[in-house]
Structure 1
Amino acid sequence: MFNTIYKKCLYLAAHKSSKYYLALVSFIESSFFPIPPDVMVIPMVISKKNDFIKIFFIATIFSVLGGILGYFIGAFFFELGAQIMSFYGYENKLSIIKDNLVNSEGFYAWLGILFLAGFTPLPYKVFTIASGLIGFNILIFILISLISRGLRFFIVSYLSYKFGDIFTKFMDNHGSKWFTAIGILIVIFAIIIYLIFKHYV
């Protein structure tokens, strides 16, 4: 099933209305759809290099809007949100997440997790729904989503624009590992900055 959906997304990337389809895929991927927008972003940028900034913006904005939908699914449609989390194997982790958010360290830990979910191959949709389920601050949620999704899609769009098919092969073979490593390094760097700031303030 996933392979069929993946091929359909590749087909839509070559469609004359590909930007509209990218907006749709970016939106629904953030709340329930299994295929990430990168599948469309890379071939679209390679074939329409002058539009790489526009493609990056479409993927980012609609992904964050879809994340807000995921948040509201979690906040107001508990059973649906729980079913989606169960589909991705995260239903048993919700109580652990909620218990850890009662202190400031848990709050900052969730910030890091939410960033990694938006930036790395982690299922972002699970964490948008979980943020709604646990009542996480929605403005901070939107800000972190904009940063993480924007950074991810900018890197994908820019490197596709710069290196074309070479980057496609790299993403197929090593993309998940590198994005995970970079995301973790960014979070570690942010923690170090926070600790230094906390020490001197």
Structure 2
Amino acid sequence: MKIFQWMYDKALTWAKHRHAERYLAGLSFTESVIFPIPPDVMLAPMALAHPEKAWRYATLTTVASVLGGMFGYLLGWWLYDPVVLPFIQYMGYQETFALVERWFIEYGVWVVFVAGFSPIPYKLFTVGAGLMHMAFLPFVIASLIGRASRFFLVAGLMYWGGAKMQQKLRDIVDWLGWGTVALGGVLYYVYG
């Protein structure tokens, strides 16, 4: 099934749209709070389509993502019971969120950095940080470092890889996509 390749081709089309930067910022912000699709799916094709703007796109993605993370933090801090908890229950994320809470207790601010860089759903950690009343400044700093590391790495790979990277990425995107899904399932099974 070539679902990730189809999404990649769609993202390349969207990357050339005149409002692509707005879409990228919106996707980056909402992914940090609720949306399941990571901004990398737009950042990578945009950096490939316009390599001269790769660093600008990485900066935009980082800033919007951290701002979204701050919003998720505030949701967790102030509106967990009336807003977040019903959503977690509706989506069936109770066990996953309980795991996130255990990680916060065990690893503290480091878990925010790891979640910001890795394919682990960052949104769970933004809301979790607010719920656990983590200190705000360390949360923002860890988010900024983790998110910037990830998005500048993606933009840099696209910048230096060019058209050759674009075709290579298209050829392996389904393997990468399904591999990430499988890794997420294994991690959930092992640590859940």
TM-score normalised by L of structure 2: 0.76
CA offset at residue 121 of structure 1?
Answer: 1.2
Residue 88 and residue 53 in structure 1: after superposition, are their counterparts in 2 closer, same or farther (change >3 A)? farther
Specify every segment of 5 or more residues in structure 1 that has no aligned partner in the other structure, as ranges: 181-201
Tell me the SS of whatever aligns to 1:31: coil
- The answer to whether the 8 A contact 2:58-2:151 is kept is yes
Match of 1:35 in 2: 37
Match of 2:144 in 1: 146
Give the number of the structure with larger relative contact order, counting CA–CA contacts within 8 Å between residues 6 or more apart.
2
Name the Cα RMSD after superposition: 2.7
Tell me the SS of whatever aligns to 1:33: coil
Question: Which structure 2 residues correspond to residues 9-20 of structure 1 after superposition, within 5 A?
Answer: 10=11, 11-20=13-22
Tell me which amino acid in the other structure corresponds to 1:83.
Answer: P
Residues of 2 paired with 1:88 and 1:27: CA distance? Answer: 20
Tell me which amino acid in the other structure corresponds to 1:26.
Answer: S
CA offset at residue 22 of structure 1?
Answer: 0.6
Specify every segment of 5 or more residues in structure 2 that has no aligned partner in the other structure, as ranges: 184-192
- The answer to whether the 8 A contact 1:9-1:39 is kept is no
CA offset at residue 115 of structure 1?
Answer: 1.8
Residues of 1 paired with 2:173 and 2:9: CA distance? Answer: 19
Match of 1:48 in 2: 50
Residues of 1 paired with 2:24 and 2:169: CA distance? Answer: 19
**Could you list the per-position Cα deviations for residues 70-102 of structure 1 after superposition, in whole angstroms to 9, with x for gaps in the alignment?**
001111111322234345544245566657766
Residues of 2 paired with 1:113 and 1:100: CA distance? Answer: 7
**Could you list the per-position Cα deviations for residues 17-36 of structure 1 after superposition, in whole angstroms to 9, with x for gaps in the alignment?**
11111111101110001111
Are 1:135 and 2:137 counterparts? no
